[in-house]
Every structure is written in C-alpha cells, then in structure tokens.
C-alpha cells in the first residue's frame, strides 16, 4: 500500500494502543470499493447468521466467514472449520482486497509476513455489541489480528490480559484498522452497543472484518 493513494490532508494516523497494538486510522479507505464488493460476494455465498454460544445464547452480532477456515460457535463449543455448517460447502474464498489490506496493515504495525487463513465478517446493527473476550481459538498465537471497521462508528474496548483489568475506549470510524499481536495478542477486547445512525454507503450498520491465522 502506498501513501500517495491518500489526499495529503487524509494521511493515515498511526496511534499506539499498547505494546504490539496499533490503530491505523483511515488505513482501509483506499480499498473501500473493493472491500465492499468483497463483502457483498462473501455474503451472497455464505449469508449472515446469528450464532449460538455454548451456553445457548444467541449472539446479537450477525456473522459469516471467508477463507480456508471459518470461526463458528454452537452448543458444542467455539472452533474453526473448513466448511459452512449451514450449507456443508467450503467457505467462500477470501477476496484479494481483504488479503492485501491485512498484509499491509500488519506490516505497518510491525508484523511483516502475515498471511491470514480466516476472515470473520461481523455485521452490527444499532444495539448489537460484542462482550469482552480473548481470541484464543487459533493454533498459534504468534500471529497478529487485523480488525477493519466499515460503516457506522463504534467504540472498541481494549483491555488487559485479565477480564477485570481496565479497558481503553477507542472510537472507531469507517476505514479504521486495529492490529494487535506480540505482547498484546491475548488482551481482552470487545465492542460497546452500536448507536443509531446511518452511514452513506452502508446504511444503519457496521461491518467488521477480523483477519487471523487460525490453522
């Protein structure tokens, strides 16, 4: 990714959140059209669904996946698998724009060579939230996580290594990317309930791409 894609007044801002954790403001904007096209293709092949936690609770965030592996949850637990449990077919291929953005953002955050094999696509509508949790289901925690925000603004909660530690409240806008790895890889994180609003491209929703190396 080259910075000459941006207007000089809109250059991405790099903000450190913690050791190994970086917020790249507006990083995804040059790829906006390709990302939205990719989301549309993924959802056409593997529609949104509300997963159920092992405890039987319906998640407020709608989800789907793309790439060789997809993250799923049901009564039997959390896991990655190569097929969509609703269709029995492989998850749709990860769009090239997703891969390129994740590689570039990870490198910018200090994690060169990142090759994600799973992309969880989350859809938030007003009121939807994601409670504090760790991303622990991946096989190798040496790889970072890249999270891309599109649509309505949200407040990202970034905590510590234990659930009870204080959290930072990080406002996220359309096009912002958060990368965390290394000493921050297992920090707790979540999203506050999405507020009412309307984005000019995505309407009354926020879509988040979370790219990981799961296998």
The number of angstroms, rounded, from the C-alpha of 44 to the middle of its chain's C-alpha atoms is 19
Query: From residue 149, how far is each of 83, 113, 121 by CA, in Å?
Result: 25, 22, 10
This prediction's pTM:
0.93
Segment (H or E) for 207 = strand 206-212
- Least Cα distance to 90 among 42, 138, 123 occurs for 42
What's the DSSP call for residue 100? H
The number of angstroms, rounded, from the C-alpha of 87 to the middle of its chain's C-alpha atoms is 23
CATH architecture of 14-212: Sandwich (2.60)
Inter-residue contact 49 to 43 (CB < 8 Å): no
pLDDT at 1 over 50: no
User: Tell me, what's the pLDDT at 144?
Assistant: 98
Inter-residue contact 142 to 214 (CB < 8 Å): no
13-66, pLDDT tens digit by residue?
Answer: 999 999 999 999 999 999 999 999 999 999 999 999 999 999 999 999 999 999
């Amino acid at each position: 990714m080259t910075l000459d894609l941006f207007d000089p007044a809109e250059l991405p801002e790099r903000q450190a959140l913690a050791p190994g954790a970086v917020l790249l403001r507006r990083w995804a904007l040059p790829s906006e059209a390709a990302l939205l096209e990719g989301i549309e293709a993924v959802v056409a092949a593997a529609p949104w669904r509300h997963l159920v936690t092992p405890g039987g609770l319906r998640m407020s965030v709608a989800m789907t996946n793309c790439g060789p592996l997809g993250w799923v949850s049901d009564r039997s637990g959390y896991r990655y698998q190569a097929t969509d449990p609703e269709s029995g077919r492989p998850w749709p291929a990860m769009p090239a724009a997703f891969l390129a953005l994740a590689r570039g953002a990870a490198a910018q955050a200090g994690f060169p060579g990142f090759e994600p094999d799973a992309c969880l696509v989350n859809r938030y509508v007003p009121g939807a939230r994601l409670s504090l949790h760790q991303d622990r289901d991946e096989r190798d925690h040496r790889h970072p996580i890249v999270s891309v925000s599109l649509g309505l603004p949200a407040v990202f909660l970034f905590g510590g290594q234990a659930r009870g530690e204080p959290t930072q409240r990080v406002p996220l806008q359309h096009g912002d990317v958060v990368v965390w790895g290394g000493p921050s890889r297992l920090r707790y994180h979540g999203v506050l309930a999405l507020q009412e609003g309307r984005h000019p491209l995505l309407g009354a929703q926020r879509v988040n791409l979370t790219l990981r190396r799961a296998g």
